[in-house]
Structure 1
Amino acid sequence: MEISVQKDDLSDGSIINLLELHLQEMHKHSPPGSVHALDREGLVDPAVSFWSAKINGILAGCGALKEITPTLGEIKSMKTDFIFLRKGVARALLERIITEAKLRQYQQIKLETGSSDPFAPAVALYRQYGFQSCGPFSNYKEDPYSLFFCKQL
């Protein structure tokens, strides 16, 4: 099974559906003030690069990289469609995002994710790729529903 990851302009209806599902999932596990997922409008910001992952031409997942400063990027909107869980989709997206961050010569990439059990697989993946716990960054604040991670590049 080959996973293809490519830049995406968010014009495909299936990507919009996946993003809406992502936001619904975030609201299911965190209160409104603790949900930091970007909606479609937030993802078409020029500071954000967005990728989709497909398996046999079918949308399998997505992820984004937002420039916070010229030396710092933030991973956003990592989501794998339920039918493609545990098939390497998130890994392929994360590797593409890390590669892009290095090409941009970022010194660090950071991310925020949830702290409850449903986020454990994501946390494990980030740790496998050398992300370490850190404090809030950018506009984030301490929040029991959030975990923050950083990777030096």
Structure 2
Amino acid sequence: MRTDATTRRRGVGQAVLDRIVADARAAGVTRLLLETGTGPMFDAAHRLYARNGFAPCRPFAGYVATDFNRFLSLAL
């Protein structure tokens, strides 16, 4: 996900992530996995995910690890 530049730093990304986590829990999901990019453009996303308990994990679902992606997981 990416927040539009005009609405960044207003909690929009956190609100979207909160909804994803809440819906996943309500559906009985026990773990969330995500793949994201690397580099300065993704620093804010990495901080958001870390603040919310996401931790590095191995690639999943056929993804291949490269220098340009990261894999994160959150136990629910």
Structure-1-length-normalised TM-score? 0.49
Partner of 1:147: 70
Q: 2:16 aligns with which of 85, 93, 97?
A: 93
State the Cα deviation string for residues 67-92 of structure 1 (Å, max 9, x = none). xxxxxxxxxxx121110010100000
Matched, 1:109 2:32: yes
Partner of 1:138: 61
Q: Percent sequence identity over matched residues?
A: 36
**Long gaps (5+) in structure 2:** none
Deviation at 1:139, TM superposition (A): 1.7
Deviation at 1:142, TM superposition (A): 1.2
Deviation at 1:94, TM superposition (A): 0.3
Cα distance in 2 between the residues matched to 1:143 and 1:101:
28
Partner of 1:120: 43
Cα distance in 2 between the residues matched to 1:117 and 1:124:
11
**Long gaps (5+) in structure 1:** 1-77
Structure with the greater relative contact order (CA < 8 A, sep ≥ 6): 1 or 2? 2
Structure-2-length-normalised TM-score? 0.96
Deviation at 1:117, TM superposition (A): 1.1
Number of aligned residue pairs: give it.
76
Cα distance in 1 between the residues matched to 2:69 and 2:58:
10
Q: RMSD over aligned Cα, in angstroms?
A: 0.6
Q: Which has the higher strand share?
A: 1
Aligned partner letter, 1:99: A
Deviation at 1:107, TM superposition (A): 1.1
Cα distance in 1 between the residues matched to 2:24 and 2:52:
14
Partner of 1:47: none
Task: Classify the secondary structure of the residue corresponding to 2:18.
Answer: helix
